[in-house]
Amino acid sequence: MNQSLRLLIVILPILILVFFAKVLLLDEDIKFSNFESKNFPAFELNDLNGDPVKALSLDGIKLVNVWASWCITCLVEHPFLTKLGEKNIQIIGLNYKDSDFKANAWLEKHGNPYLFSIYDPRGDLAFDLGVTGAPESYLIVNNQVVGHIQGEMNQTKWETIFLPLITNAKQGS
């Protein structure tokens, strides 16, 4: 009994040390995020042109990007989104708590990487999606939300979080 206690006094701290070293060395951005996929929430909203958005438009592999004209960080990720759009990634915007006038002006000024943007001035759809602010991005595969990135989208996040999910989805179909 005494012998095992003595060993425990030394082994336990070592185990704790090793555990924390392991956690430390795991990069923050690339932390394995077990995201539980769920259905894309039902909604009845228009796009920024005033036309109703059809649910079918979320078939296939889509990137839903939460943005707003008041969001400064959205400007930071904008070039990357444009690049993604050029690579034939389908991006749908979710205009969050914004005025349609200001939103359209923003797109005019900075360019429009989106197929279209859902106009969500009250943030209802955003709330159901679990949006915490702008910018944020969701990966949708056949109307299922399979991935979520908080903060601006960049090369690293795209490659480590969304790309593997897209590859999985393509293999599955």
Partner 1 sequence: MIGEISHFLSLSAALLLSLVLIFNLFFFFNKIHQNQLTLSTRLFNQACWLVFISFGMYVYLAISDDFSIAYIASHSNSQLPAFYKVTSIWSAHEGSMFLWIVFLTAWSILFINSLDKKHPLKKLTLLMLSLIILGFLLFLLLTSNPFERILPFGVLEGADINPVLQDPALAIHPPMLYLGYVGFVISFSFITAYLLNGNFELQWEQDIKNWSFIAWVFLTIGITLGSWWAYYELGWGGYWFWDPVENVALMPWLAATAFIHSLFASSKSNVLKTWTMFLGILIFALSLFGAFIVRSGIIDSVHSFANDPQRGLYLLSFSGLITLLALTIFAYRLPLLNSSKLVVTGSKESFLSMNNILMVTSIFSIFLGVTYPLIIESISGEKVSIGPPYYNTIFAPLILIAAIFIMLSVDALWQRSMTLKTLFITMVAPTMASLLSIYLIWQATNIFSILAYIGIFSGSLIIFSYLFRTINKKFINKGSAIAHVGMGLLFFAVSMNSILSYEKNLNLAPGQSISVNESVQNFSFKDIRVFKASNHDVISAQVLLLQDGKEISLNPQKRKYATRGQITSESAIHASVLKDTYLTIGDQLENGSWTFSLKINYFIKWIWFSAALMVFGILLTIFKKKPS
Partner 2 sequence: MIKKSFILFSFFILSPPVFNQMVYEFEDSLQEKRFYSLISEIRCPKCTSGSIASSDAPVSRDLKNKVYELVLDGSTDMEIKTYVSERFGNFSDYRPSLEGPNYFLWFGPFIFLALMLAIFFVKRRV
**Residues at the site binding partner 2, with contacts judged by CB under 8 A:** 1, 36, 38, 97, 123, 127-133
Say whether residue 72 binds partner 1 (CB under 8 A).
no
CA distance 144 to 93: 16
Reading the block at residue 159, the tokens are 């490659």
Q: Which residue has the tokens 């951005």?
A: 29
| Pick 85 or 128: Cβ nearer partner 2 | 128
Partner that binds at residue 130, options partner 1, partner 2, none, CB closer than 5 to 8 Å by kind = partner 2
| Pick 3 or 88: Cβ nearer partner 1 | 3
CA distance 137 to 153: 7
Query: Cβ of residue 79: shortest distance to partner 2, in angstroms?
Result: 25
| Pick 5 or 42: Cβ nearer partner 1 | 5
Query: Cβ of residue 146: shortest distance to partner 1, in angstroms?
Result: 14
Instruction: Identify residues 100-119 at the interface with partner 1 (CB under 8 A).
Output: none
Closest CA to 163 of 144, 151, 147, 145: 147
| Pick 47 or 120: Cβ nearer partner 2 | 120
Say whether residue 2 binds partner 1 (CB under 8 A).
yes
Q: How many CB atoms lie within 10 A of CB 68?
A: 23
Site string for partner 1, 14-33 (x = CB under 8 A): x--x-xxxxxxxx-x--xxx
Alpha carbon of 117 to those of 31, 51, 94, 124: distances in Å? 30, 10, 5, 15
| Pick 16 or 167: Cβ nearer partner 2 | 16
3-state secondary structure 35-101: CCCEECCCCCCEECCCCECCHHHHCCEEEEEEECCCCCHHHHHHHHHHHHHHCCCCEEEEEECCCHH
Partner that binds at residue 1, options partner 1, partner 2, none, CB closer than 5 to 8 Å by kind = partner 2
Q: Which residues bind partner 1 (CB under 8 A)?
A: 2, 5-7, 9-10, 13-14, 17, 19-26, 28, 31-34
